[in-house]
Structure 1
């Protein structure tokens, strides 16, 4: 058994998720959405998840929207990676969700990041960090210390795109198919060179965003 402080490999995470059908892997965390019958039931679920967090001394990122509770577990002290603690917490959260009759809707959980094309990231990153009130991570990305705003990362290239900024939208691979189909039906240009890890979408005016999944580049 790996130490709870050690990040789990992708192979181990994928194996664990086979026993956690309520959950998906997304941006170095385990994520899901639980739908309850009423807002009161959602609050009961939040209270139960909070009690688990106190007992395990491991707290999730949590967002409440009426009768839906959005949850994300990651171990910040392990480099913001998934560890055994996240697996145990996710499993316990599913158990209490079942008690209140909540239904898992993991496909609703999506994350958004911003990316800027640049040939000199250090020359501009501090301006963005100060303006946004973010902090810099070890890999040079900028993140909201309170987890409210989207992360910002710098795509270093000798030939920045004409539209230097684009949006990365992350969904789980299991639920990505309908989104890709519907997006293509709008008439957008779809570049599948790196699918299923990401598909570059260009609208009719040349603006870009990427529809991303947890899959690795080149993975079938």
Structure 2
């Protein structure tokens, strides 16, 4: 089965993740980081991921950083959503990682988006799409077709903030408490009105960012 008929609901994704402790849900994908004993071990794991991808005809985004391998599975043919194919592939990759002696560090996988306050997203989105070379995303946002740059989404509001652009940092809910504690210790203003979905952080000069979890701004499936 493939395509949109195979999309999992959030409750189905959460059920699947209960058996996949190495992985987290993030903006339409399953993500994790594996730490190998050595850089050579990381390359061995990447080769194993490549073999799995070819066998299953389901290819992830993979990023190599010395002895760490960042992996993201999503089903592009289903509109960049999570399907049962992603769950099966993630399971196989976790098994391969264990065989190479790699350990999972999913807390390291943070996803960054830029958000622009605007009363009319369609009036400005074309400029950003053309300049960045991005494509339309899942919910009116813009994404890098090669998965390298941060996402860009338009926060529709009739009362845009003076600082119209802010950063959203996405991290798993299970790991967010430590980040919130460290950020609060800097003296930043912390608005928890929407927690645990997101916490609005304002620095000493009025610049904003949001620390988001997988319960963030995207609608449930």
Report what 1:157 is aligned to: 157
Question: 1:78-117 alignment to 2 at 5 Å?
Answer: 78-117=78-117
Take 1:77 and 1:101, find their aligned partners in 2: how far apart are those partners? 33
Structure 1 position 15 matched with structure 2 position 19:
no
Report what 2:140 is aligned to: 140
Report what 2:42 is aligned to: 42
Do the aligned partners of 2:79 and 2:138 also contact (CA within 8 Å) in 1? Answer: no
Report what 2:66 is aligned to: 66
> Where in structure 2 are there 5+ consecutive unaligned residues?
none
1:84, CA displacement in angstroms?
A: 0.5
Take 1:137 and 1:17, find their aligned partners in 2: how far apart are those partners? 24
Report what 1:123 is aligned to: 123
TM-score, length-scaled by structure 2: 0.95
Take 1:69 and 1:138, find their aligned partners in 2: how far apart are those partners? 26
User: Superposition RMSD on alpha carbons, in Å?
Assistant: 1.1
Distance 1:117 1:216, change over 3 A: closer
- Higher alpha-carbon deviation: 130-139 or 152-161: 130-139
Number of residue pairs matched?
Answer: 215
What is the DSSP-based 3-state SS (H/G/I as helix, E as strand, rest coil) of the residue aligned with 2:94? helix
What is the DSSP-based 3-state SS (H/G/I as helix, E as strand, rest coil) of the residue aligned with 1:15? helix
Take 2:118 and 2:179, find their aligned partners in 1: how far apart are those partners? 29
> Where in structure 1 are there 5+ consecutive unaligned residues?
none
Report what 2:204 is aligned to: 204
Deviations 1:150-204 (CA, angstroms, capped at 9, x unpaired):
1111111111000000000000000000100110011111111110010000001
Deviations 1:105-153 (CA, angstroms, capped at 9, x unpaired):
0111010000000112111111111111111235321111111111111
